[in-house]
Amino acid sequence: MERIIKRGFASDNNSGAHPAVLQAMIDANEGHEIGYGDDYFTARAIEVVKKHFGEEVEVFLVFNGTGANVLSLNNLTDSFNSIICAETSHINEDECGAPEKFTGCKLLTTETENGKLTVDKIKKHIYGIGFEHHSQPKVISITQVTEMGTVYTVDEIREIAEYAHSKKMFLHMDGARLANAAVSLELGFQEFTADAGVDVLSFGLSKNGAVNAEAVIFFNKKLAKNFKYFRKQAMQLGSKMRFMAVQFETLLSGNIWKKNASHANNMAKLLVEKIKDIPQIKITQEVDANGVFAIVPAEIIPKLQEEFFFYMWDEHNSEVRWMTSFDTTEEDIEQFVALVKKLLKT
């Protein structure tokens, strides 16, 4: 069994890690550190997160995005609550029911055109308040960048946050690609999270060049109550936490997070630029960040996937998803587009 190195557009987590991340892990390897987060590197990671998100946050490292989402939601809810989200949201589509299983809550979904919730769409789920037969709505969960590659503006977030709070509900943000959103919005993290009314954030850097670096960030410390116990009970407490912690510091203390996200976004733009005029291909979503959705002639898809793996998004209409990453090269794009054109004989 010999490894054949391939490249593709399947997901930004198909990339490896930024070299600086791995070097930092080596640098942190000397000596002993108390396990489970009570160590020097985790303390530093929390400090660097606070520099981006504000001093008054509570930060907890977890293993993966599903863990971050489920534990965020769990701290906001009782089991009789419901959680409102887009039908396409990761918590609804891609976590195999983890939120329902751990929290006991019901997910209420809404169809969207572009992966974004709006107050109007949310409203249809707000009724039966105080009626014990009805799951009580408690959280609105949005994804930034959305699963459709679009980015909420600050105003869009703030409107949802204000509506949530007016109903005594909370706003959760799944920020698995938060860096790509920041770059897209040309804003600091705090400006479109804490400052826009988000209560709890799943903050992921795994898709930004980490090996694995995920955290839950509470913007209201009261909401973090007992989180440490739930994290442990949810099997999300790592032992040698220093190795995850240094990844946060590496990516966030300087500019690496921004360079990585900018590059990924730019590569998506480049892909669109090169492909948008091919008549047989239709770009279906705004390309706000590093995801490109397109309807492509079905017959070329398997051949494309052989060379550059990517996922079918919707088989019914031959829609695919192409994700770019911090390590996508211009050459990747060019070769890919050339292959598309060759297969389409354009």
Among 48, 57, 70, 215, binds a second copy (CB under 8 A): 70
**Site map 242..281 versus a second copy, x via CB under 8 A:** xx--------------------------------------
29 binds a second copy, rule: CB under 8 A: yes
Among 51, 79, 113, 297, binds a second copy (CB under 8 A): 79
97 binds a second copy, rule: CB under 8 A: yes
Tell the smallest beta-carbon distance from residue 154 to a second copy (Å).
Answer: 29
Q: Six-digit token pair at 275?
A: 């492909």
Tell me how far the alpha carbon of residue 137 is from its chain's centroid: 23
Tell the smallest beta-carbon distance from residue 327 to a second copy (Å).
Answer: 8
Among 119, 126, 154, 234, binds a second copy (CB under 8 A): 234
Q: Six-digit token pair at 293?
A: 């959705």
Closer to a second copy by CB, 101 or 342: give it. 101
Nearest residue to 206 via CA among 49, 57, 325: 325
CA distance 187 to 179: 10
Tell the smallest beta-carbon distance from residue 259 to a second copy (Å).
Answer: 17
20 binds a second copy, rule: CB under 8 A: no
Closer to a second copy by CB, 80 or 306: give it. 80
Nearest residue to 53 via CA among 193, 149, 174, 196: 193
Part in contact with a second copy (CB under 8 A); list of ranges 90-98, 157-165, 290-298, 335-343:
90-98
Tell the smallest beta-carbon distance from residue 252 to a second copy (Å).
Answer: 16
Q: Six-digit token pair at 298?
A: 């079905």
329 binds a second copy, rule: CB under 8 A: no
**Site map 142..161 versus a second copy, x via CB under 8 A:** --------------------
Taking phi over 0 as left and psi of -120 to 50 as alpha, with beta for the rest, 62 belongs to beta
Outline where 138-192 has alpha helix (H): 154-166, 178-185
Residue burial 122-161, b: 16+ Cβ < 10 Å; e: rest: beebbeeeeeeeebbbbbbbbbbbbbbbbbbeeebbbbbb
Contact, 318 vs 301, CB < 8 A? yes
**Site map 188..207 versus a second copy, x via CB under 8 A:** ------------------x-
31 binds a second copy, rule: CB under 8 A: yes
Q: What length is written for the chain?
A: 346
Phi, psi angles (nearest 5°) of residue 153: -75, 165
Q: 295 has which bridge partners?
A: 282, 319
CA distance 24 to 205: 15
Residues 168-187 that bind a second copy (CB under 8 A): none
78 binds a second copy, rule: CB under 8 A: yes
Among 76, 84, 107, 296, binds a second copy (CB under 8 A): 107
- The neighbour count for residue 55, using CB atoms within 10 Å, is 7
Tell the smallest beta-carbon distance from residue 124 to a second copy (Å).
Answer: 9
284 binds a second copy, rule: CB under 8 A: no
